[in-house]
């Protein structure tokens, strides 16, 4: 009987030790439990179909700093739109240069991360006019409220792959205007635009 009890206790202890070892071995590639400063570099490709009639393509580079669960994302980016027809007189293309600052909250489970961000985007829209005798302005201000969510998966302790979708509302809404003797052509930016992104993150600290 004593031998059986001893074997049972030994088996239970081994199981408990194995469980605690397994728990301790759970991956924490995002550094949630370390308490160390959270600094990452993110490089994203982006597309947005909603600012002008043609979709815009580009990308951004951002520094993420704070804690894994709550941090700031500060970035710069550019989006280019192929030329589109304005009225029946010519074509217009745009290049939007932006700076972004967002606050983010994230939830982690092992190698997975779900993140929500919201903030402000400001910049300049550069215009390319083609075929107009009297083109409109070359540069227009741009300010928009932005936000969105993303899913990320850690590919190790240094690199992650992430993808997300966002929405933006122009606060300073550009209007492309050109005039002739007989008419005026106007193309306003969309009231709301969506943004799709995919990119890589790199741990810096």
| Strand positions, DSSP E, the chain | 38-48, 56-66, 70-86, 90-109, 112-130, 139-154, 159-172, 175-179, 184-188, 193-203
User: Which range has the worst mean pLDDT, 17-21, 82-86, 97-101, 108-112?
Assistant: 17-21
In this prediction, residue 91 carries a pLDDT of: 83
Structure tokens at 148: 């969105």
Distance CA 145, CA 17 (A): 51
In this prediction, residue 203 carries a pLDDT of: 94
pLDDT at 172 over 80: yes
Mean pLDDT of 157-186: 82
Q: What is the CATH number of domain 28-203?
A: 2.40.160.70
In this prediction, residue 62 carries a pLDDT of: 98
pLDDT category at 181 given cuts 50, 70, 90 is low
Higher pLDDT, 188 or 14: 188
Distance CA 192, CA 195 (A): 10
Distance CA 200, CA 192 (A): 26
In this prediction, residue 6 carries a pLDDT of: 43
End-to-end CA distance of the chain: 57
pTM: 0.80
pLDDT at 4 over 70: no
User: Which range has the worst mean pLDDT, 19-28, 38-47, 107-116?
Assistant: 19-28
Using DSSP's 3-state secondary structure scheme, residue 155 falls into: coil
In this prediction, residue 16 carries a pLDDT of: 44
Mean pLDDT of 137-146: 92
Q: For residue range 63-104, what is the model confidence (pLDDT) as tens digits? A: 999 999 999 999 999 999 988 887 666 788 889 999 999 999
Mean pLDDT of 188-196: 87
pLDDT at 7 over 50: no
Mean pLDDT taken over the chain: 84
For the chain, domain boundaries: 28-203
């Amino acid at each position: 009987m004593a031998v059986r009890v001893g074997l049972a206790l030994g088996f239970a202890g081994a199981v408990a030790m194995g469980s605690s070892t397994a728990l301790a071995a759970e991956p924490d590639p995002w550094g949630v439990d370390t308490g160390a400063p959270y600094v990452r570099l993110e490089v994203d490709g982006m597309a947005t179909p909603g600012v002008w009639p043609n979709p815009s393509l580009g990308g951004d580079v951002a520094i993420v700093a704070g804690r894994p669960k709550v941090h700031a994302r500060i970035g710069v980016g550019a989006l280019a739109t192929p030329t589109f027809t304005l009225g029946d007189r010519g074509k217009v293309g745009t290049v939007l240069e932006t700076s972004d600052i967002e606050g983010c909250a994230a939830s982690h489970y092992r190698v997975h991360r779900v993140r929500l961000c919201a903030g402000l985007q400001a910049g300049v829209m550069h215009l390319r006019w083609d075929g107009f005798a009297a083109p409109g302005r070359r540069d227009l201000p741009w300010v928009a409220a932005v936000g969105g969510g993303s899913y990320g998966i850690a590919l190790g302790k240094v690199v992650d792959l992430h993808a997300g979708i966002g929405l933006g509302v122009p606060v300073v809404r550009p209007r492309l205007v050109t005039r002739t003797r007989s008419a005026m052509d106007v193309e306003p930016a969309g009231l709301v635009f969506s943004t799709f992104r995919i990119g890589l993150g790199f741990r810096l600290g």
